[in-house]
A and B are shown apart, each in its own frame.
Chain A
Amino acid sequence: MNGLQFVFLLAALVSLFSAVMVVSARRMMHAALWLVLTLMGVAVIFVTLQSSFFAVVQILVYVGAIAILIIFSVMLTRRVMEDHGDQILPGWRGAVLVAVLLFGVLVGFLTLWQGFSVMLVELPPDTDNVLELGKALVSPQEFVLPFELASVLLVAALIGAITIAVDRRKEHQR
């Protein structure tokens, strides 16, 4: 076992453990903090895959924005800061079944994909994978359509959020 594998195993264990803690922690706030740790573990896994761009974006977007927003909403929601007793609901057996099934289906489909069995190739030291990613995102042969669709979706979400947030009554009073 070389160093990279050790780091991968460690990161995977940490993120799995904290992912379990996210759903089983008693206080919402603790769950949110465990979520931060999970996301950082995923970032480390990206690093072991040599995709530093995704690792950094993972931290920037998920830890820096989404996790903080979750913490904010936890803090601003009334009475979720208190203890609520056991977090395990009575129907947990069904939930476990569905989760295992979903995991099985996902892994099953992934094994059908030919990229699943390809071993990782070491990148030549002079290639800039960020450059390649940028080109792929805007090249018509590759991902320009999904990329633009995602942009439209995000703009729609932005406008939707503003529409919900605008307080119309106050605007009129002014």
Chain B
Amino acid sequence: MDFLRDPFGFVINWYVGLLSQFGLPPEVVEVIASLTGALVLATGAMLFVVFLIWYERKLIGRIQDRFGPNRVGPWGIFQPIADMLKIFTKEYITPDGAEKFTYNLAPILAVAAVLLLWSVLPLSVTVFGTDLNVGFLFLIAVGALGEVSYILAGWSSNNKYALLGALRLVAQLISYEVPLVLSALVPVMLAGTLSVVGLVQAQEIWFIVTAPAAALIFFIASIAEIGRSPFDLVEAESELVAGYNIEYSGLKFGMFYVAEFLHAFTVSMIFAVVFLGGWRGPAAEQVPILGFVYLMLKTFVVYFVTILFRGTLPRFRIDQMMNLNWKVLTPLSLALVMVMAVVGGLTRDLPLFWQAAAYLAVNIILLVIADQLIRLFQRKKPKQALAIRGGHGALTTSTKYGTGE
């Protein structure tokens, strides 16, 4: 029965017990168990990408009124495996004048930066890599390693387009980190902890209910962080050929590809953990495996929305992207942090329900004010207005602030 309720926890306990039976000292057992856990988690995550690629291609296909992959296996589910085998057999090409060491280091770093994110995400009540007391900050800091890998890739390939693509991507990542961190402060304030496990435990009421504005900013900023459409300026084929990874071939390109897909999924999981209650759900604490199922369901809902974005929205121009960040998201998140702190202080003694209602009201008021301000600004100076109008009606829908004409 124990196995059925919590298979992961059961296997971990069994494995640790098995190791200590060999007469190893407890520290060594802990080190070996952690290493095995990391290996299993990383391998599982990498293999999971195979499924993600199929899922995304299929969905995008349906959005564009095509079948998507449908030849290899039932519903084309083995297509990514065939692609993977193909990519294994391709030749590695190192361009002339490339920095060998950094050129090879960059794809490894890109995948590692994404896999590191999984080390602090709680997958269920009993299963998490480590409960770091600054886990949430760690999630954001590790993103910085990804930025370094893009710079390395772009610079060491000795190619103008790669360099331009990398500069553009990193400028985007650094800029959107500001509203990302600021909006992430709101759940941290609500929970009173930086630990990701603590964040999940604090969500008696999901944070998307108490702080929808923060969730919206966080979601937009995380889409920008993974460079997905409408923020996929890195892959602007007509301007940059293919961005920072243009010179990479074979498995090295595959690493970047895997990193991109896994990052998109991981970011959805972070959103689910921070704003949608993570593994929380009915009976999740008694039956830990249910928590894992809930988390996966929530993650896939968020991931589905990012794919919908990718399939339906056109690409931002770079000035539009920067304007959205610096003129809308950053001031809004700054205001949100201050307002939430004040409201939290004022409603400290109220019961949980009323406190949550106050937070919700304040969030909605703030969103409405932001929306009205943007409209006012656009009416006043139509020429140099926020570029989210930009003359392309379709773009406004993406921000939820525009009129959506």
Contacts and interface: CB of A to CB of B under 8 A. Distances in A.
Nearest to A174: B384
A53 interface: yes
- For the complex of A and B, 5 pairs with smallest distance between CB atoms: A64-B144, A60-B141, A59-B141, A56-B137, A56-B141
Contact of A63 (B132, B145, B163): B145
Contact of A130 (B133, B163, B167): B133
B134 A63 contact: no
Interface stretch (B146-154, B340-348, B354-362, B363-371): B146-154
Interface in B69-112: 102
Interface string A14-45: 00000000000000010001001000000000
B140 interface: yes
Contacts of B193: 128
A36 B102 CA distance: 13
A68 interface: yes
B177 interface: yes
Interface residues of B, number: 28
B277 interface: no
B137 A72 contact: no
Contact of B148 (A29, A63, A75, A130): A63
Nearest to B193: A128
B382 to A, nearest CB: 13
B174 A65 contact: yes
A63 B147 CA distance: 9
A52 B132 contact: yes
A104 B145 CA distance: 34
Given A33-B152, A59-B141, A64-B144, A75 B134 contact: no
Contacts of B114: none
A111 interface: no
B140 A75 contact: no
A35 to B, nearest CB: 11
A67 interface: yes
Nearest to B171: A72
B274 interface: no
Nearest to A36: B148
A75 B170 CA distance: 13
Interface in B184-210: 193-194
Nearest to B194: A130
B141 A75 contact: no
Interface in A103-150: 128-130
Of the candidates B140, B143, B170, B194, the one having the most CB atoms from chain A within 10 angstroms of its own CB is B194
B171 to A, nearest CB: 8
Contact of B147 (A52, A53, A57, A68): A68
A11 interface: no
Contacts of A56: 134, 137-138, 141
A64 B147 CA distance: 7
Interface in A55-112: 56-57, 59-60, 63-65, 67-68, 71-72, 75
Interface of B: 27, 102, 132-134, 137-138, 140-145, 147-148, 151-152, 155, 163, 167, 170-171, 174, 177, 193-194, 383-384
Given A36-B148, A64-B144, A75 B174 contact: no
A129 B163 CA distance: 41
B133 A63 contact: no
Contacts of A68: 144, 147-148, 151, 170, 174
A1 to B, nearest CB: 14
Nearest to A52: B134
A59 B133 contact: no
A72 B163 CA distance: 11
A26 to B, nearest CB: 13
Nearest to A29: B155
Contacts of A67: 148
Contacts of A33: 102, 152
Nearest to A128: B133
A174 B27 CA distance: 68
B132 A59 contact: no
Nearest to B170: A68
A72 B172 CA distance: 13
Contacts of A128: 133, 193
Contact of A75 (B137, B144, B167): B167
Nearest to B138: A56
A124 to B, nearest CB: 13
A53 B134 CA distance: 6
A29 to B, nearest CB: 7
A53 B3 CA distance: 37
Nearest to A54: B134
A56 B142 CA distance: 8
A63 B102 contact: no
Given A59-B145, A75-B163, A75-B167, A64 B177 contact: yes
A145 B174 CA distance: 30
B141 A64 contact: yes
A56 B141 CA distance: 6
Nearest to B105: A33
Contacts of A36: 148
